[in-house]
């Protein structure tokens, strides 16, 4: 999702597209509680779909199914890593920017939801005002919903820009509690499902070993953010060597 954060034009373009679609649907439905609920559901559904579309893994050079990677010869398997992670004294420091960014976005979401409920009561008045100017019932409804939704969009985008400016460079760290490394890649458990990171890794990816803290970082650097897959291990040196051997192309290996 860091690609979405970095591309301002993409964020604005998609936002305006959704707002126009929502406004057309709402104008067709008319002002009412049903319309409010449907718009809320559409926002939730499209946000989820958007997160899936832009959750592409920037670390892998090829797409692969989880089953294909998991079915290959197993090289490393780690489970129950929470205790190991909790002993890492530098973890909180590493995640400060990510926590700050998430907190700002969470607060802005609450503000946006408050606006969504409070401003809804003014949509009928806005519709009546616009109807006198445009002379079309459907168009007046559409413009009223358009202005209403633009307010919500402005709040979300301003909050995003504030978060990006306050935090500076974002480092998004993923720390799976369990994972396996095979000859074809890495499979790790996410919040809802498993994710596969195929070998070979993208040439721009950096592999970092911190033997003292007990992990290997796979890092993808963007313009304003970094995506990090942090693999804690009881034998980080062995894990590092395996990833370099199977996951790094020869030219890339010389620079990692």
Average pLDDT over residues 209-214: 95
What range defines the domain where residue 102 resides? 1-56+95-170
3-state SS, residue 212: coil
Question: Is the CB of residue 79 less than 8 Å from the CB of residue 234?
Answer: no
Query: Do residues 145 and 156 both lie within one domain?
Result: yes
Q: What is the C-alpha to C-alpha distance for residues 218 and 204, in angstroms, rounded to an integer? A: 11
Beta strands in 47-190, from DSSP E residues, in sequence order: 74-78, 170-174, 179-182, 185-189
| pLDDT bracket for residue 8 (50, 70, 90) | low
Greater confidence (164 vs 254) lies with: 164
> Tell me: the pLDDT tens digits for 68-92?
999 999 999 999 999 999 999 899 8
Pick the last residue of a domain from 170, 192, 211.
170
Query: Do residues 113 and 222 both lie within one domain?
Result: no
Split into its structural domains, the chain has a count of 2
Query: Do residues 30 and 65 both lie within one domain?
Result: no
Greater confidence (241 vs 250) lies with: 241
Q: What is the C-alpha to C-alpha distance for residues 87 and 227, in angstroms, rounded to an integer? A: 22
Pick the last residue of a domain from 140, 170, 200.
170
Q: Is the dihedral of CA 48, 51, 57, 63 positive or negative?
A: positive
Query: Do residues 76 and 196 both lie within one domain?
Result: yes
Would 89 be classed as within a structural domain?
no
Query: Do residues 102 and 69 both lie within one domain?
Result: no
Would 86 be classed as within a structural domain?
no
> Tell me: the pLDDT tens digits for 10-42?
777 888 898 999 999 999 988 888 888 898 888
| pLDDT bracket for residue 255 (50, 70, 90) | very low
> Tell me: the pLDDT tens digits for 136-190?
889 999 999 999 999 988 888 888 778 777 777 778 898 999 999 999 999 998 7
Q: Which tokens hold the place of 191?
A: 């919040």
Query: Do residues 52 and 63 both lie within one domain?
Result: no
């Amino acid at each position: 999702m860091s690609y979405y954060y970095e591309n301002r034009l993409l964020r604005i373009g998609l936002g305006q597209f959704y707002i126009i679609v929502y406004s057309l649907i709402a104008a067709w439905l008319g002002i009412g509680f049903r319309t409010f609920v449907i718009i809320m559901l559409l926002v939730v559904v499209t946000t989820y779909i958007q997160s899936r579309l832009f959750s592409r893994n920037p670390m892998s050079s090829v797409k692969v199914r989880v089953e294909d990677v998991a079915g290959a010869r197993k090289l490393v398997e780690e489970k129950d890593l929470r205790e190991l992670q909790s002993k890492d004294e530098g973890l909180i420091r590493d995640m400060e920017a990510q926590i700050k960014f998430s907190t700002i976005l969470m607060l802005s979401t609450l503000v946006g939801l408050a606006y969504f409920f409070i401003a809804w009561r003014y949509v009928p008045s806005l519709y009546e005002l616009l109807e006198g100017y445009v002379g079309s019932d459907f168009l007046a409804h559409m413009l009223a919903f358009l202005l209403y939704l633009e307010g919500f969009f402005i709040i979300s985008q301003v909050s995003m820009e504030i978060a990006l400016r306050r935090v500076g460079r974002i480092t998004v760290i993923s720390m799976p509690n369990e994972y396996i490394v095979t000859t074809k890649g890495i499979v790790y458990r996410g919040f809802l499902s498993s994710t596969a990171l195929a070998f070979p890794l993208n040439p721009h990816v950096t592999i970092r070993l911190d033997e003292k803290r007990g992990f290997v970082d796979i890092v993808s650097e963007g313009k304003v953010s970094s995506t990090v897959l942090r693999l804690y291990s009881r034998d980080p040196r062995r894990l590092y060597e395996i990833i370099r051997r199977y996951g790094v192309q020869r030219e890339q290996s010389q620079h990692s």
